[in-house]
Amino acid sequence: MAGGLYLGKAFDPKDATLGEPIRVDPSDLLTHGLIVGMTGSGKTGAAIGLIEEVLRQGVPVIAIDPKGDLGNLLLLFEDLQPASFEPWIDVEAARREGLTPKAAAEAAAASWSKGLAEWGLGAADVKALRASHEAVIYTPGSSSGVGLNVLQSLDAPSFPFDSAEEDLRDEIASVVGGMLGLLKIDADPLQSREHIFLSTLVEQSWRAGRGLSLEELVTAVADPPFDKVGALPLESVYPRREREGLMRALNNLLASPRFEAWREGAPLDVARLLRAEDGRPRLSIVYTAHLDDDQRLFVTALLLDKIKTWMRRQPGTMQLRALVYMDEIFGYFPPHPANPPTKRPLLTLLKQARAQGVGVILATQNPVDLDYKGLANMGTWMVGKLQTDQDRERLRDGLTGSGVDPRRLETLLDATRKRVFLLHDVHRKGPELMHSRWALSYLRGPLTREEIGRLMKDRAAPAPSAPARRASEGPPVLPPPLEHHFLSRHGGQLAEPYVFVKYAARYKGAGEAVGVKAWPLAAATAADALEAEPIELTEDDLATEAPAGLRYSDLPVYATGKNGAKAIEKALKERLASKLGAMAWFDPVTQHSGLPGEDAEAFAKRLLSAGPGPQEADLREKLEKKKRDLANAERELGERKKETWLSVGGAILQNLPILFGRRRSISVSGASSVLSKNRIENEAEERVATLKAEVDALDRKVTGLMVVESSRFEQREVEPVKSDVKILRYDLLWVY
């Protein structure tokens, strides 16, 4: 949809009238957001409207739903007929209003047709939204929706452990903590020997490229493949006879029929949560309303850690690539010192996800229950009617801290009401009142598990991710003239495709630099691939033969076919120059810049070896001219001093008769002459002083050209213009 996210219209509190549509750029959500308001404020409707708009832009959404409201996003009735609404009518609510289900359906259909029309929307918009994406409701630990195989997370990652060590350890902590929570074992990751022991088991297996089934985990508890934990013997830290209790607890969990649902369903694969098999964006709702508190924390923390790991492996972008929405954040992101397992990955996403194009939107009724550091990372606020003065105070602190005038803020907060929000977007001029638009989805209210089952009954679990190409098949066929090259960076067995480029770039004031960089091709387009962080290498690092047993990820679509090489070459020509900006030393005396990567000492030697240039000759000429000007000014000053003394002497002689009583009045003409000569002398002294300073400055510059000291250098960013960049060669590189 052109024009951005259509969230609502401007609201005038004086006469409760609506103004122009309010549209927000999707990229504004990269600074994350907060939707807050008490029960009845219209918070859920505003959130659903925002998610609809993101989906209309072709951006996938992962929504965590601890209350059950977000299933309403699947209730899209493009015909707007009562028969479509009737199966979803809340029968009890209709009965309280004295309506039959049929009459309630007719009222709902009429209301939705009228409401959409008043907001410039209609059946065509509902149909387009429905066709634009695929929607799935996942129900971990339950078969009511599409199952989510949470404990499939014990499978080893498809990439080397060392390439994402911190993130994978966070994932291990989440899944181990979750399993121990299911066993009702309160396990601190730093203190609990159960947690430390199981985490060590999983990490050692993953480092070896092997996953663990639950059956294998139970066996490994009895006979682990290590005999030390840290610096101490395993038998001292956690003796075998005591481990048997953990082994029996895990085995009972494995044998429990109620636990079977946790091991069934779609894999917890973020890439597949974001995209359907046909490439359309996916709305993945992870429904957790049926779980107890410990189970919700387990599933949510693990999902957030998976998103964090996926996010950090994506190329950089300034466009919104995916949205993560969490409804009712209470208890998941509390202020210090509370530290549930969901807090760490949420804070990481809020601080870092922007660079990879991931936006995070949180919703709550009570802002006092949010960590303040999280609020500080949010750039878009939708504030509805608040319940308490404490809530208002927390929001006031956050908003005034971002530059909002306190008096205007109070006025706007006073004007909020049902479906009227204070919208503050750091990318807009200032805060304003917004009436949220009518939702395209039928806002039925929370869905039951039975209703979710009806929505998902014909849907099979998504197929597992396509495996990497087998080693025996060799690397995929490349479009000519590209050729295969190989680089061992992690020492793994799975190779990812990169494009490596050798280039020559000329930087203003610094000369030409030749370099080699490689960019990962894991992006939607070749141009997007260049937004990722490149790796530095040399041509000597490249090999033309692959090691035995290497497996290969698939090439992106744009890099295949007869035009694959042309697509990459076009992107390089258009964007390479902008990716070669670098820090370099700058000499304020000579006004020269060093080459990117050149150290200060090498830059100093290069300046000295360059010898005198046109700049030095020009400075010397200026210095000689200033010296001549100074000599003339000093001669003129000497003459002015003589004139002053002569004037003083003349004035004294003119007034001698007064001393001998021959005249009673003083002659002022002589005094005036003295004052005039003195003023001229002062002006001459000032000119001499100015010229001396200019001569000294020029002399220092000339000396600086002959004596180069690196201590005077400054660091500045340099970037070549597009016409000064030459692509010397480019090819396909497999990094493993």
End-to-end C-alpha distance for the chain, whole angstroms = 40
Between CA 35 and CA 383 the distance in angstroms is 6
Distances (CA, A) of 687 to 100, 107, 155, 628, 639: 100, 92, 82, 13, 14
Three-state secondary structure call for residue 191: coil
**Rounded average pLDDT over 245-261:** 80
| Domain 31-75+84-147+273-380+437-462 belongs in CATH node 1.20.58 | no
Mean per-residue pLDDT of the chain: 84
148 φ/ψ angles, rounded to the nearest 5 degrees: -130, 115
Q: Answer whether residue 705 shows pLDDT above 60.
A: no
Question: Cα-atom radius of gyration of the chain, to the nearest Å?
Answer: 37
pTM to 2 decimal places = 0.62
- Rounded Cα distance between 112 and 736, Å, is 54
pLDDT of 454 reads: 85
- The whole-number average pLDDT for the span 20-47 is 94
pLDDT at residue 394 is higher than 80: no
Query: One-letter amino acid identity for 162?
Result: D
Whole-angstrom CA distances from 528 to 440, 537, 568 are 32, 21, 11
More confident residue, 209 or 701: 209
Report the range out of 111-115, 297-301, 586-590 with the highest average pLDDT.
111-115
Domain ranges of the chain: 31-75+84-147+273-380+437-462, 149-264, 478-581+723-735, 614-715
Lowest-confidence range among 298-312, 531-545, 620-634? 620-634
Question: Span 76-101, mean pLDDT?
Answer: 90
Reported confidence tier of residue 405, pLDDT bands at 50, 70, 90: confident
Higher pLDDT, 505 or 639: 505
From 351-355, 588-592, 669-673, the region with the lowest mean pLDDT: 669-673
For 497, the token pair is 């495709």
Q: Which of these, 279, 283, 332, 383, lies nearest to 51 by C-alpha position?
A: 283
- pLDDT score of 146: 92
In which band, very low, low, confident or very high, does the pLDDT at 706 lie, cut at 50, 70 and 90?
low
The pairing of strands 282-287 and 266-267 is unpaired
When pLDDT is cut at 50, 70 and 90, the band that residue 1 belongs to is very low
> Which residues pair with residue 498 across a beta bridge?
520, 733
Report the pLDDT averaged over residues 247-271: 82
What are all long-range contacts of 630-635, with beta carbons under 8 Å and residues at least 24 apart?
630/688, 630/691, 630/692, 630/695, 633/684, 633/687, 633/688, 633/691, 634/688
147, 360, 666 from 676: Cα distances, Å: 101, 77, 18
Helix (H, G, I), strand (E, B) or coil at 152: helix
State how far the Cα of 383 lies from the Cα of 729, in Å rounded to an integer.
54
Say what the pLDDT of residue 461 is: 45
Of 599, 603, 598, whose CA–CA distance to 587 is shortest?
603
pLDDT digits (tens, 9 = 90+) for 366-382: 887 788 777 778 899 99
Task: Give CA–CA dist 86/444, Å, rounded.
Answer: 11
The whole-angstrom separation of Cα 334 and Cα 367 is 10
Q: What is the pLDDT of residues 435-461, one digit of tens each?
A: 999 999 999 998 887 788 889 887 744
Q: Identify the band that residue 644 occupies on the pLDDT scale cut at 50, 70 and 90.
A: low
Q: How far apart are CA 506 and CA 726, in angstroms?
A: 9
Q: Is the pLDDT of residue 173 over 80?
A: yes
- Cα–Cα distance for residue pair 84/82, rounded to 1 Å: 5
Q: What are the residues whose beta carbons fall under 8 Å from the beta carbon of 471, sequence distance 6 or more?
A: 548, 549, 550, 551, 552
pLDDT, position 725: 92
Q: Which residue has the tokens 């065509």?
A: 124
Provide the sign of the torsion angle of the four alpha carbons 527, 532, 533, 538, taken in this order: negative
| Per-residue pLDDT tens digits for 177-186 | 888 887 888 7
Candidates 135, 378, 488; CA nearest to 280 is: 135
> Three-state DSSP class for 514?
strand
> Are the CB atoms for 440 and 126 separated by under 8 Å?
yes
Helix, strand, or coil (residue 130): helix
State what percent of residues in the chain have pLDDT above 90.
37
Residue 732 confidence (pLDDT) above 70: yes
CA distances from 711 to 217, 549, 590 (A): 60, 52, 14
Q: Is pLDDT above 90 for 82? A: yes
Upper half-sphere CA count for residue 419 (Cβ side, 13 Å): 15
Please tell me the predicted confidence (pLDDT) of residue 304. Answer: 94
Q: Which positions ≥6 away from 363 have C-beta within 8 Å?
A: 34, 35, 36, 43, 44, 47, 325, 326, 327, 328, 329
pLDDT in tens, 91-149: 878 887 888 999 999 999 999 999 999 999 999 999 999 999 999 999 998 888 899 98
Q: What is the pLDDT of residue 728?
A: 94
Residue 731's pLDDT is what? Answer: 93
> In the predicted model, is pLDDT for residue 281 greater than 50?
yes
536-540 contacts, C-beta under 8 A, 24 or more apart: 537/487, 537/500, 539/502
Distance CA 268, CA 283 (A): 14
Enter the tokens of residue 274: 């974001």
Q: Is the Cβ–Cβ distance between 22 and 7 less than 8 Å?
A: yes
pLDDT of 656 reads 55
* Residues contacting residue 727 through CB under 8 Å, at least 6 positions apart: 501, 502, 503, 569, 572, 573, 576
